[in-house]
Amino acid sequence: MSIKDSKVTFNVDTLSVHIFPNRQAMGEAAAHHISDKMQKLIREYGSIRMIFASAPSQNEVLATLSTLPGIDWSKVTAFHMDEYIGIPGDSPQSFGYYIREHLWDKVSPKHVHFINSLAENPQKECRRYAALISESPIDIVCMGIGENGHIAFNDPPVANFNDPEVVKIVELDEACRRQQVNDGCFSSLSVVPKTAITLTVPTLFSGKHLICVVPGPTKTKAVFNTLTNRIDATCPATILRTHPQAVLYLDKTAAAKLDDGGLS
């Protein structure tokens, strides 16, 4: 497999993989895919429900998506997929703050639902958010993959592919917390929160369409493991290879290890 100036496409199990020469091309392509899917489903159902990841890896796709014409955002109910416990919602480190600044304030969905990171009773907040998520099926999940292979804050090896919960509290492992420093979200590991509220793997997997965007050289190992490892919780993102409507968008730096793995 050689990625120079053109797109490379292949499948791993049921997962469709698209690799682009750079982050901008990847983000634009993913945004157009999301837009097309949104418009089609809105025509079909009248309204849709979506879950969004909040991370710098999503910058290009969200910047493009916020400008694309033809999307009736008044027909969209939006959720974000995880949040630190104890981080104020107006803090730049808050995932709710990120998705509001990068997308929701620009497009004004009909309904937006935030996880309350300062809730007095985090378990009760999990139940509240789970009830909102469970009101109707989720149509589209826009997501990423962590450096340790996590999806949302479901870290290896404790991610549960058969989790009975919809939303839960998790302890974040060090690799996950260190990624937040690598991404420039926190100045040092010592100030990264150790607990968070996250949507579980089955909740993410319940989406009719999963569109996963993963750029950058810090994700090369996670991408390689996602596409070559056995499907289990040691790399939670491997579960994407079993979803009937999942698409993975990569730039060439994130895909750099795939040549060695013999994928084409």
- Tell me, yes or no, whether 1 lies in a domain: no
User: In percent, how much of the chain has pLDDT > 70?
Assistant: 96
User: Which residues constitute the domain of residue 231?
Assistant: 12-257
pLDDT band at 199 (very low <50, low <70, confident <90, very high): very high
* 7 belongs to a structural domain: no
The CATH number of residue 94's host domain is 3.40.50.1360
The beta strands (E) that lie in 152-215 are given as: 167-171, 195-199, 209-214
In a domain, 262, yes or no: no
Whether 131 shows a pLDDT value over 80: the answer reads yes
In this structure, the number of other CB atoms found within 10 A of the CB of residue 185 comes to 18
Q: Specify the DSSP class assigned to residue 151.
A: B
Q: What pLDDT score does 178 carry?
A: 83
Q: Which of 12-21, 121-130, 157-166, 180-189 is the least confident region?
A: 180-189
Tokens of 104: 């929701």
Mean pLDDT, rounded, of the chain:
94
pLDDT at 181: 81
Identify the pLDDT of residue 31: 98
Residue 4 is assigned to a structural domain of this protein: no
pLDDT digits (tens, 9 = 90+) for 30-77: 999 999 999 999 999 999 999 999 999 999 999 999 999 999 999 999
- Per-residue pLDDT, 173: 84
**Amino acid at residue number 107:** V
Under the banding of pLDDT at 50, 70 and 90, the label for residue 182 is confident
Q: Is residue 165 part of a domain?
A: yes
Residue 2 domain flag: no
Predicted local distance difference test score (pLDDT) of residue 187: 82
Instruction: Over range 200-217, report the average pLDDT.
Output: 98
pLDDT greater at residue 2 or residue 223: 223
Name the strand (E) or helix (H) holding 64.
Answer: helix 59-65
What's the confidence (pLDDT) of residue 180? 82
For residue 171, being part of any structural domain is answered with: yes
| Overall average pLDDT of the 135-161 stretch | 96
- 201 in Cβ contact with 239 (< 8 Å): yes
Domain count, the chain: 1
What average pLDDT does the segment 152-175 reach?
Answer: 94
